[in-house]
Amino acid sequence: MRQRNSTRAGRLRATALSFLITSLAAGPALAITVDNVIQMHKSGLPGNVIVQTIEGTHSTFNLTVQDMKTLEAAGVPKDVIEAMMKSTGSAAPAPAPEPAPEPAAEPGQKDDLQRLREQEDKDREAIEEEARIREASRRAADQERQKMAAEESKRIASQLESARDAYEDAEYYRAARLYDEFVQKSDPKKPSALQAKLGLADSLFALKMYGNAAATYHEVVEAGPDNDAFVPAFEGLRRCGQKISYNPVTLEKLTNYFVGNAPKPFQDGYNYYLGKFFFDYNRYDEARKYLAQVSNEGADFSDAQYLLGLMVVLEAGEQDTDERAQKLITASPLFQQAVTAAESKDEDRVAHLSYLALARIAYTVGLYDVAIFYYRKVPTDSTNYVNALYEIGWSYFLKGDVRRGMGIFHTLDGPDWENYFLPDSHLLEATVFMNTCHFDFAHDAVKRMEEKYLALKAPLQKYLAEYTTPETLYRAFVLGQTNKGVELPRLLRMATLADAEFSELYGTVRNRRREVSELSTHKDNLGADLANRLLSSVETQQRDAQMEMGIKISAILQRLDAELTDLEVKLSEIRIEIDEVQADELEKAIKDSYQETSQAAAAAASQRTASVFVGDKYLTWPFEGEYWEDEINAYRSNLTEVCKGAPEQ
């Protein structure tokens, strides 16, 4: 066996040697090729012999990816492939060795060699000619591509310029159509396409089509901060957010982008936007991370501080504990910073909300004078004024200043605020009347509470039982598509409209309904294709907003129903208390009669209250001084206590 193997190895070496000699004799033109290597491997030559053959022939290889795959598929050893790769891109090959002296040949053999050499020369010339042709073709193709690129650049510049001119001339429909035509014909990832999409979004915003504008800005922003359209698109997205509610969960993708190289004002706005996004989704830890990065020079600093404070309040919960009070107190500096920043920039909305928050914190921890101070900071033209006025009345009551508290609650019972849902004001009135022994007035307050508020409970429950889904609630409340006899009382409707989140959603749905109408009317101006795409997009947004609004209506009405149920319980309790206190007073009166109480003293006590309680048992406006809106906080009720044994006032 060993002898046969030895013989076989000898034959292989002889084959390789023969191949090597032939290659050397033929010169560089017959250097080893990839196919030769594969053939030697298939012939059974060991890898080291093939490597020696490659090195001996000074062969070079410019291996392509396909060559590598072919060699590996043929099973060529790794060391052979590595030897071939080492030869790639090497310096100029070693000079070919001098040809060995040719043996003397017969005349016929000399002619054959001559013909062979001539053929080799022709083949070499053909290869060189083919290479020249390929190079010429490559250069021609490069020139053609450059020419086409230049023409395309001119076309892009011309078309975008036309669209920009239309936009600057306020021809927004035409501008939108031109920008869209460009986008449809371009690679969506190219900078020019993103610029055109930005122009389309700007045109739609100018047309007040905020839903489609926001979606288009969003597409540009999602392309990432490496494109020049990113910053203006983000700013456009924020402008849309001031007009409509646009907060899809896909905005979370913005957290993947690095904007640390952008100008600081942009970073501040970007961080606030993401912080507000996470706040709206109740993801407070993530919201804090971004809101805390808004610098105090940023335009959104006051809003960021307000939200940071509000999150502390929301997380503190509603249970009356010392721990909650401590948490609320830690929120005060945040609201104070929000006030300072807002007032320095004339941002009234944030300042008023922050004052209201500071007042409520003070009210909760029992600092009623501090609460009153902050409540009074909310001006009469603020949308939060009624809430502040209502809560300041409770502050006066709880600090023992009943006359001021009653003055404010009587004010709120006047015609200017008759559509506000403030049931506890009558409850407090009944309590004060009871404590001052004006039992008829206390019963009147209870009766008014029944007629104005508890009477709403039955129709509200009927309404909720009839319209059970977000869609039916939306149609009934917003579109007025109600069944006969199942309608929502006006006071509950006004209470729903007063909710800030509902108001924002309502404005969004109303805008999108207008956008649908606008697109349907102006299809010709936009072109049918663009108009139909935009119409489909905004109709989807509108359906989503309507569903969200239906859910919000349900939540508000359920909350109002719970408040009415709670009020019903309190009403039962106050009735019992009034009866008990009245019984006690009657008992005192009987006791006094046995003691022959002076009739003159009783007449004097009656005279003290005659200026207040005349005619009807209850006066809606028993105030000191005239009625001026900016003096409401100073009003006092002239109510006096008439309980037996009460000190003179």
DSSP string covering 414-436, please? SGGGTTS--HHHHHHHHHHHHHT
CB-CB contact of 176 with 160 (8 Å): no
**pLDDT exceeds cutoff 80 at 542:** yes
* pLDDT classification of 618: cutoffs 50, 70, 90: very low
637 backbone dihedrals φ, ψ, rounded to 5°: -80, 145
Q: How far apart are the two ends of the chain, measured CA to CA in Å?
A: 133
Q: Which range, of 93-97, 175-179, 458-462, averages the lowest pLDDT?
A: 93-97
Q: Which residue has the tokens 């009382």?
A: 489
**pLDDT exceeds cutoff 70 at 151:** no
Q: Which position has the higher pLDDT, 609 or 490?
A: 490
- What integer is the mean pLDDT of 337-362? 92
Q: What is the percentage of the chain residues whose pLDDT exceeds 70?
A: 81
The residues near 402 (Cβ < 8 Å, ≥ 6 apart) are 396, 432, 435, 436, 637, 639
**pLDDT exceeds cutoff 60 at 601:** no
**pLDDT exceeds cutoff 70 at 15:** no
Residue 436 CA to its chain's centroid (Å): 54
**pLDDT exceeds cutoff 80 at 611:** no
526: which 2 tokens?
């936009």
**pLDDT exceeds cutoff 90 at 235:** yes
224 backbone dihedrals φ, ψ, rounded to 5°: 100, 160
**pLDDT exceeds cutoff 60 at 608:** no
- What integer is the mean pLDDT of 430-443? 84
Mean pLDDT of the chain: 81
**pLDDT exceeds cutoff 50 at 622:** no
CA-nearest of 459, 461, 466, 469 to 489 is 459
The residues near 475 (Cβ < 8 Å, ≥ 6 apart) are 467, 481
612: which 2 tokens?
């207040």
Q: Which range, of 179-193, 384-398, 614-628, averages the lowest pLDDT?
A: 614-628
HEC sequence for 364-409:
HCCCHHHHHHHHCCCCCCCCCHHHHHHHHHHHHHHCCCHHHHHHHH
Q: Which position has the higher pLDDT, 377 or 57?
A: 377
Q: Which position has the higher pLDDT, 609 or 7?
A: 7
**pLDDT exceeds cutoff 50 at 4:** no
CA-nearest of 384, 318, 396, 387 to 348 is 384
CB-CB contact of 29 with 56 (8 Å): no
**pLDDT exceeds cutoff 90 at 532:** yes
CA dihedral 169, 172, 178, 179 (to 10 degrees): 110
**Pairwise CA distance, residues 523 & 501, whole Å:** 33
Q: Would you say the pTM of this structure is higher than 0.75?
A: no
Q: What confidence score (pLDDT) does residue 101 get?
A: 54
Q: Which range, of 68-72, 320-324, 375-379, 582-586, averages the lowest pLDDT?
A: 582-586
CB-CB contact of 530 with 177 (8 Å): yes
Top-ranked range on mean pLDDT: pick from 201-215, 390-404, 581-595: 201-215
The residues near 131 (Cβ < 8 Å, ≥ 6 apart) are none
* pLDDT classification of 65: cutoffs 50, 70, 90: confident
Q: What confidence score (pLDDT) does residue 145 get?
A: 72
- What integer is the mean pLDDT of 217-239? 94
**What is the CATH code for 143-258?**
1.25.40.10
**pLDDT exceeds cutoff 70 at 153:** no
Top-ranked range on mean pLDDT: pick from 150-164, 432-446, 578-592, 618-632: 432-446
| CB-count exposure of residue 73 (10 Å: 0-12, 13-18, 19+) | exposed
Q: What confidence score (pLDDT) does residue 384 get?
A: 86
Q: Which position has the higher pLDDT, 231 or 94?
A: 231
**pLDDT exceeds cutoff 80 at 159:** no
Instruction: Report which residue type is found at 511.
Output: N
**pLDDT exceeds cutoff 50 at 359:** yes
- Range 583-589, long-range pairs (CB < 8 A, 24+ positions): 585/437, 585/439, 585/643, 585/644, 588/644, 588/645, 589/644
**Pairwise CA distance, residues 127 & 29, whole Å:** 11
Q: Give the residues across from 623 on adjacent strands.
A: 637
Model confidence over 366-398: pLDDT tens digits?
999 999 999 999 998 888 888 898 899 889 988
CA triple 617-618-621, angle to 5 deg: 145
- What integer is the mean pLDDT of 294-312? 94
59: which 2 tokens?
């062969």
Q: Which position has the higher pLDDT, 626 or 445?
A: 445
